[in-house]
Amino acid sequence: MYRNVMEEIVEELLNEVFETNPNVCRDCPSCRIDITAHALNRLPPKYVVHEKGRALTRIDLRDPQIRTDILSVLAQSITVINQNRWCEKAKK
């Protein structure tokens, strides 16, 4: 088995960004998925082998550079999705 741990990292950091960004369409599954997909298309995938008894290699989020890079992509994705959103909240 293998999987892209960048997906988990983006979701984790997105929670932080949502907390500090009042303009985001929060608690909206549709916008959340749009933002996540938009950001993942702009970040390098990070595949790891996922097996029982084998430690996962994780991207070190304590590295300020990695963290800053991902957060800046997320901020761009939020802006783009906010401007082009078609969810129920935007229609009102």
Binding footprint of Zn ion on the chain (CB under 5 A): 25, 28, 31, 87, 89
Task: Give 28 or 71: the residue with its C-beta nearer to Zn ion.
Answer: 28
Report the SS3 class of residue 2: strand
- Contact criterion met (CB below 8 Å) for 16 and 69: no
Q: Which two tokens stand for residue 41?
A: 């298309």
Least distance to Zn ion, CB of residue 43, Å: 22
**CB of residue 89 vs Zn ion: minimum separation in angstroms?**
5
The amino acid at residue 83 is: Q
| Nearest distance from C-beta of residue 90 to Zn ion, angstroms | 6
Angle at the Cα of 27 (from 5 to 59), degrees rounded to 5?
Answer: 15
Based on CB atoms, which residue is closest to Zn ion, 46 or 85?
A: 85
Instruction: With H, G, I as helix, E, B as strand and everything else as coil, classify residue 4.
Output: strand
Considering beta carbons, is residue 25 or 74 the nearer one to Zn ion? Answer: 25
